[in-house]
Structure 1
Amino acid sequence: MVPSFRPRLRLLLAGLAVVLGIGLLSGLAAWQAERRSLRASAEQAREQLRLHRDTLDAIVERYRMLPAVLALDPEVRDALAADTHDAAMVERLNRKLEQVNGVATTSTLTLLDRNGKALAASNWRTPNSNVGTDYGFRPYFQQAMTHGTGDFYALGYTTRVPGYFLSQAVRDAQGRALGVLVVKLVFSELEAAWRALPDPVFVSDAHGVIFLSGRDRWRYLDLRPLRENERSELARTRQYGDVPQRLLPYRELQAFAPDVRRVRMPGQGEQIWLSQTLPEQGWTLHLLHSTRSSMIAARTVAIAVAAGLLAVTFLLLFIHQRRRLARMRERGRIELQQLVEQHAIELRTAQDGLVQAAGGADYGESPSLQHLPQGVSVIDADLRLVAWNRRYIDLFKFPAGFIHVGLPIEDVFRYNARRGLLGPGPVEHAIARRLDHLRSGKPHMHERERSDGTVIEIRGNPLPDGGFVTSYADITAYKQAARDLRSLADALEHRIGERTRDLAVAKSEAENANRSKTRFVAAAVHDLLQPLNAARMFVSALRDKLQEPQAQGLADNVEDALAAQDAILNSLLDISRLESGALETRVRDFALAPLLETLAREFGMLAHARGLRLDWVPTRAVVRSDEALLRRILQNFLSNALRYTPKGRIVLGCRRVEGGLRIEVHDTGPGIPEARQEEIFEEFRRLDDGMADDRGAGLGLAIVERIARLLGHRVGLRSSVGRGSCFSILVPWGDRSAVAAPATEAAATDDDRDLRDCTVWCVDDDPRVCEASRTLLQRWHCQVQLAAGAGDALAAAQPGAAPRLLLLDMRLGNLTGPELYPQLVERWGSEPIVILVTAEQDDSVRAIARQHGWGFLPKPVRPAALRALIMQRLMREQA
């Protein structure tokens, strides 16, 4: 006893050590994978946040210079300086603001006097016009009157439309503030673009109040509790009107950096929260990115390590990561290029607004235009200079005193031509061409590269009252960035091509490894089913010899355990066949009622034995599917319903929905929490509240999900904790005319006398299966002449001594059953009834049995099924 006990102990300890080691490695791998994925997700989200910041800055900068240019308009300054304002003057101002607003495509333009009262506005025609409203309490007015400029985001006081207000003080010749020009920007298009994104993007102000968001319900929520002085300030400025202040519901879990956090949002799970300040506006831009992909990646790695398929899993993860990296690079390149192009378009649009508004600029070098990044020159209808800024002088390096009011623009062209700035070709022709273009009053835009490499973008547009305004922008950096971007794109395409070839090789290796794994699983399941088949036959033969109820109960328990083991092995084999693509489907149109009736009858008896009630709703529907695979799906639904329903009832029925017929299984079990409704479809996942003696292995729903995907059906789940669950499968409608009437078969009798003296050969390479088959068949009064392998069968076969029935295994060492059969028939001189008994359940094996007209029975064999098939074949032979 001691020598035999020690190996078992060592084996147990080694197994325990392996299980613990795999558990530790899988936990460590999951933790590491989650950290790596979170870092990668954070970097990707940070790049997205930077792009959103650039877009927002471009929109604001597009209109920032507009009020500064309008503040130089003499008519605006004269109107504000006047003590009285007649109706004609106010109407002229309204029309001017309306015209400029139409060109610049802003929301509204408003002119406020020194007291903050709206003197004129671009929306003067609308019922909720700004004209006459007092805006003196607004911060943008107070900032402009004090500092010259201002900005403020708030709800419109009259329109109730939120927007960003940019203000510019209008000053007289002595520098005194006469009033304020205000432009209002509305970010509705930007919010609409954010709304279509999968990741929430929003902006908060200095108080932590969200005012721009792609999620409408988040607007005006607080990121932190407001202090009393902040509440008072919001009430005084009426920034967000009477909107009640509520906190954004979230809980911070971990802080990776000052601007990166990990939080949990109700209804959205865990998120990575990235923030970036916009110092010029005093705002903060935020982006939330779900960690769901990181958690899924960690769980996938853990399962892979626990299953012992590290190499295959790491390869798949490598392929997935490379593809994801390639897509991310390509998407990043496209988004970056689009952003650069968009930025260039917006810059040019801003220059157009500048040109349109420069018609009212004052004469000479204006101090109010010194902050503009472009060089600006304005000429009158006689083609003489009337206004410019310092940037224009510096950009062309004009000598002191050369540029003055009234200087003909032809002299400027001639001076630049002598320095080679007009390009190659005849000088007089170049000057004449430019003068003719100015006289024609047509807008123009072109780029000029100087000899020193500087690239100047020149844009010109006519003024409404005659004359021309031209802007000069140094776009050298932009051109260099575009060239670098093209070089980077070419390099990325080259690298992606190399990675694609590497991944093709890795994919081929992974497919070969997967095929090897599938063959291994099939062989392993076959070898496991052999002793299991023998054990079930021995138990069936033993039950009839047991007289005591207690002993019969033990035999029943053994058979139940073997049946459970049989189900687990068949489930593993099904998963292997599904993953390898070896499972063939036979989709056809068939009536659903017989299938549901059979299931209701089979599972109704099990439900009754457990004190449950199973009801089913009759139907006349015809569906299109694989009847055997659909039966397997519904069997799993019903098995789970029985397993997890301690009391109550189960209902099997159908419901007509858009797109087909939904077959549903309702139960009154404990229900499934929403957080676990996805994971139960994974392998070896099961709930903890099933029946203590029947919890399953956690493979049923994994098989359901794969079969449904193979058939193109959609699996559904609705569950409420404490009330029950409903599993469903959506199948398409079938053609009723294509359904044939079911054929009837003669029922088999169960009389032992029908099998008496029936000669049987059992050919199997497993001695235990042979002995179990002999014992079972002899109990049915059969004459078992041979129960052995292929070699013994060939040696025992004699002419004229063929058995009436041959039970033939598929795998027989170096031979297969179909290969052995012709040799036996040749020696016998006749053909017996054949039943192919095998652990291989592939469709190809069933096809072989149908081709030869043999019976087919999968292992482990149920004695009742074997007896029924034998009786059926014998009766068919007699008929």
Structure 2
Amino acid sequence: MTLVDPADPPERRAAKLLRIAEALMNRVEQSPDHSSLAYAQFERAARLEGEVRQRTEQLERTLDLLHDSNARLAAAMEEAQAARENLAQAIETVDEGFALFDADDRLVLHNSRFCIDLKDVAPNLRPGLPFADYVELVSRSEMLELPESQTPGEWRTRRLRRHSDSRTTFNVRLTMDRWIQVSEHRTGTGGTVILQTDVTKVVRAERRERDRMIDRQARMARATLDHLDQGVATFDRNARLVGWNAQMEAILAKPIGEDVLSLPFTDLMNRLASGFVFTGAIDRPALEAWAARRGRRRSLSFEVRQITGPAPRIHAVSAQQIPDGGFVISFTDVTSERESERALRDLNETLERRVDLRTNELGVALEEARRANASKTRFMAAASHDLLQPLSAAKLFVSAIEDRARDSDLGDVAGKAISALASVETIIEALLDISKLDSGRVNVTVKSTPLTAIFESLALEMTPLAAARGIDLRFVPCTLRVKSDPVLLRRMVQNLVANAIRHTDGKRVLVGVRRRDGTARIDVCDMGPGIAPADQADIFKEFHQLGPHRSGANGLGLGLAIVERAAATLKHGLGLASEPGRGSRFSVTVPVDTAPGDAPDRGGPEDARERPSLYGQVVMLVENDLEVARGITLMVEGWGADLIHAENAEGALSLLDDLGITPDALLIDHQLGEGPDGLELLELLRRAHGDLPARVISADRSDDLRRACDGAGAPLIPKPLDPDLVVGFLGAVAAGP
């Protein structure tokens, strides 16, 4: 037992300690015993008084702190109560129902409008109510109107599933055609705010508008059906008649009264059985079984004959299912079409008999034409041989005269005679070629043919002829192999080149190849007067050539006729692109030989390994030598890439700005004349368009330039260009990092 109860308030404990100290002091003073025991008790009383005084001071300070804390707590509670009352008043002014659940899904507060339309739910709302219990109350409310196919438990499950979303909005239907919109939002602390808005007026207005639209659409559909040429009848998912149009009544030749509305399909068929006969594979039982089927139906098409009325009619019937499970049957009068088909069949039989008769007559005429053509071919072969023999002898004799009379006028005349005889010999050979191609006696052997061999051979043969006329003839190297007859293909290209040399009044003829989608297009381009569109259709005819005022041609115009017949024999494409005043481009398109294992006759990068696919790549070439640029263009575009060309730095920068594109790769000549050189232009282009892959091309093979190009990240490709280095660079760009 202690003298001071710790449970007493600080004031009571202090008073007790004071009384104890006073009693001890009195006892010491009244005691006659002045022994050491009394003195010791006095000392203990003095010490106890000091401790009591110290404890009293501490208790007073503690009491002061407690009073301050209680005051602040009371103020805070008053503020919280005021804030709660303000919040309650604020949410009470909201027109919508409002409720707040905390992070533990327990109701914190709500206003009087929350669940006001759920009379049996509102009295049960209280702070601390779990959200699941709230949903349970709503699901079992007598005011909640659920769809026929949904139970309260299913509605509760779906509602709780929506609660897991951070934000959701949905409509709830109540009894007496009332609707509330529920919006649920998650707060920053994990709580939930629910707003309930009465949207009955909005829903009813939308429903009225929808009904008006449906009614308007129904009238429009009815008017549309009445304007159709077909008779249409509509049935619901239970195979009952729900609609028809005026044409249907016209087909039946009697009005369809309202008494047949919702009439089962089988009963309707009974009424119509006497007027229609099925004529195809579909009969009445099959149609009735189709109409009675549940689930997906396939469309039906058949014909019936209408035997009522002044004249029988034939109707094409189409039966199709509609999305709601019903179906539509349409009747189209095809009597005129069937009569026309019958008349066409009769006419066709008559025509077939006539065709057979004329075919026999034409067969006889064709056989006579074949015999005449064979006779002409034999004559041409014999005549060509007999004419070429004396022509060769004549050329020998005239050559002898030319050698002996070289310094006289007779020598000049002899030279002209030799030229004339050579022309006659060429004409006779051309006529013989045309005769062979027309007769089909040309032996065609399609095989892998290297274009390099053809181009090199024709370059040796045709360059002197072109030089004699002051024409620069160039063949762009190409190492492709194609599938063709090498003899006929060479003759075709030879005739095109010879035609370009004879008929151009320009100074250059260029022969090159473009590769596109497994084909190689051999182009022969000249800078001549061009060919007007009106003349292009006839330019490949025999003995047809432009007037003397439009060409400096000689010969009889048989070269292009031979090219056309050879292309038809080999099934190669033959093309012409020309514009008056801008030259012409004749082209032959042949398939590229891509068979594995075919080794080229001459080594080269195009044949040494398969070229990478460069389709879709855009390459920019900056080259001031137009002939070099033309050759690089043909080579790069032959690999499938697209090339844009500029002659100098200013043109390159301007061209890219105008086109608004960034190329995939750069080929830049180092010597560009006036202005920035290749490396300076490369720096400008990369500054404007990023770190573009690039190669510098130049005839300067010095180590200084090579080191400068390596330092710029654009290794040097020396001229003349190695195609393998170019395609290797572009292939690496196309393959990506």
Normalized against structure 2, the TM-score is what? 0.43
Larger radius of gyration: 2
- TM value normalised by structure 1: 0.37
Higher relative contact order (CA 8 A, sep 6+): 1
